[in-house]
Amino acid sequence: MTNETIDRILLKNMLPVEVNSLFEVGLYGAFYKLSILMILFIQTFRFAAEPFFFQNKNNSSKQVYADVMKYFIIVTAFVFLVVTTFYDFFIGFLGQSYHDPRGFYVVSILLLANFFLGIYYNLSIWYKLTDKTIFGAYISIFGALITITLNYLLIPYYGFIACALTTLCCYFVMSLISYVFLRKYFPIPYDLKRILFYFSLMIFIFSLVYFDSLGTYIHCLYLLIFLIVVYLMEQPKKSLI
């Protein structure tokens, strides 16, 4: 809860006096809501995945956990691309006063932050299945320290952009720490090459959408290319015999 809410509390109280802090908090809250598609999917996945993981609590299920992570990455990468590609459409649901040029950057950062939060939920299964849940507390506390420290240092200079960047940093570091402990206590054969490939493809397509001005139809083509690449990579290999 600290990681998810403390940024708005600090934002309200730490902005320079000449800045309308209530307006900035409202603006940031509106941008946060634009990442709701990613958040909804992650929460739905979390509630469904944990019972599934506990029902398959044996070493032979590790490949299943690895496959779940891979397909989770694919779906969340696609959600990230859909929201950023059609940002102008989604921002239309907010009032004209929320059409701030900083919005696209903040929404993109928050989507990426929640992308890593979802990865953390996947990785956290190791300490639940091995009855080492104290590590979950350690990692969460460390994440809270990152959140409080970076927000305290950066909000006076960068406003709610600092909040978004801090959220991304927090969830990325939590995911990284969890992965390091997972390799020691409950190694799962994640297909890192393919996961990194999909992540890189997501960032590459996002960069194309951000830097070019070819219009919505071309951007839709980029999404289609992403789906085609995933299909070609994931389709079962047919026997030549």
**Rounded percentage of the chain residues whose pLDDT exceeds 90:** 56
User: Would you write out the chain's pLDDT as a tens digit for each of its 241 residues?
Assistant: 788 888 888 988 888 888 888 888 989 988 888 888 888 888 888 888 878 887 766 656 888 899 999 999 999 999 999 999 998 888 887 777 778 888 899 999 999 999 999 999 999 989 988 889 999 999 999 999 999 999 999 999 999 999 999 999 999 999 999 999 999 999 999 999 999 999 999 999 999 988 887 778 888 999 999 999 999 998 876 433 4
pTM over 0.75: yes
Exposed, middle or buried by CB within 10 Å (0-12, 13-18, 19+), for 239? exposed
Residue 156: closest CA among 28, 22, 25, 17? 17
Tokens, residue 165: 């960047």
One-letter identity of residue 39: I
